[in-house]
Amino acid sequence: MTQVSPMFLALSAALAYLFGSIPFGLLLTRFAGAGDLRKIGSGNIGATNVLRTGRRGLAAATLLLDGGKGAASVLLAGQFGPEAALVAAGLAVIGHLFPVWLGFRGGKGVATTLGVLLALAPFAGILACLVWLAVAALGRYSSLAALVAIGTSPVSVWLLYDPARAVLVLGLALLVLLRHHENIARLLAGTESTIRLRRTAGG
């Protein structure tokens, strides 16, 4: 296996961060004339909040683009080896969570983490998506579905792939968990809003 140079790993990290930090939800709603997404609903830049603008097509596009930037970062960096793929996976999600363009106040990372999973550990990524759909259908809470899907993914990655990828996914899961602290509080208080599955998108 060819050793990737530290300089190239740093470059992969920087490019993945910048790609991950593109706020597609904010850009799409602004270009569509729906206003500043940060002043709508929860103020989040993810697809779930885009859905609150009433633009279901924009929400779907945001979901695909946020997931796509995570997957693309991994796949592109992966051409130069697994180490570069791991670095890109982590930094793409961090870029979404803490984008430099928005004062490091980004989304909650669900769609981008799922995109990373699908590229880095495809079977575990598919399983996470199925878990999300099942929990959302049964409980009708988008946040709970996201937390269960992302929270269980390190186990499936560990069992189906290798410890290196599992440790990375565990770190990403913890970041997503922290970004959902307000949702967790509302879930415990019984005040979290429910969803209709056919109109839901990951945040």
**Where residue 3 falls among pLDDT bands split at 50, 70, 90?**
low
pLDDT at 53: 83
pLDDT at 197: 46
Alpha-carbon distance 108 to 112, whole Å? Answer: 9
Spatial contact of 10 and 85, defined as CB atoms under 8 Å apart: no
Neighbours of 137 (CB within 10 A): 12
Q: Give the pLDDT mean for 107-124.
A: 96
Q: What phi and psi values does residue 182 have, to the nearest 5 degrees?
A: -70, -40
24-76: pLDDT as tens digits: 999 999 998 888 888 887 778 888 888 888 788 898 999 999 999 999 999 99
Domain chopping of the chain, boundaries: 6-199
CB crowding 110-120: b at 16 or more within 10 Å, else e? bbbbbbbbbbb
86-104: pLDDT as tens digits: 999 999 999 999 999 999 9
